[in-house]
Amino acid sequence: MNSHQIVAIDVSALAAPEPMERILDALDALPPGGRLQVLIHREPFPLYEILDRRGYAHRTMRRPDARYDLEIEAMACSAP
């Protein structure tokens, strides 16, 4: 069984552009096979295109407290 590192960050109290900067920095430091879990105060629409271009899979779920859980992981294979 493979054990992949999960890194969790909470950027829900930060003002723009700091949440995106922190997320991108965390992704740069993420080990191969790692997963980033983010708690954020709004749905990060501008981030989705960046993640898609960089080959990351992402899922976003709205929480009952109106914040969002964002999970990001590298895809197994990226198209050229």
Q: What is the pLDDT of residue 76?
A: 57
String of DSSP letters for 21-77: HHHHHHHHHPPTT-EEEEEESS--HHHHHHHHHTTEEEEEEE-TTS-EEEEEEE-SS
In the chain, what are the domain boundaries? Answer: 6-74
> Per residue in 41-68, pLDDT tens?
999 999 999 999 999 999 999 999 999 9
Domain 6-74 classification at class level? alpha beta
Q: What is the pLDDT of residue 80?
A: 43
pLDDT above 70: residue 31: yes
What is the percent of the chain where pLDDT is above 70? 90
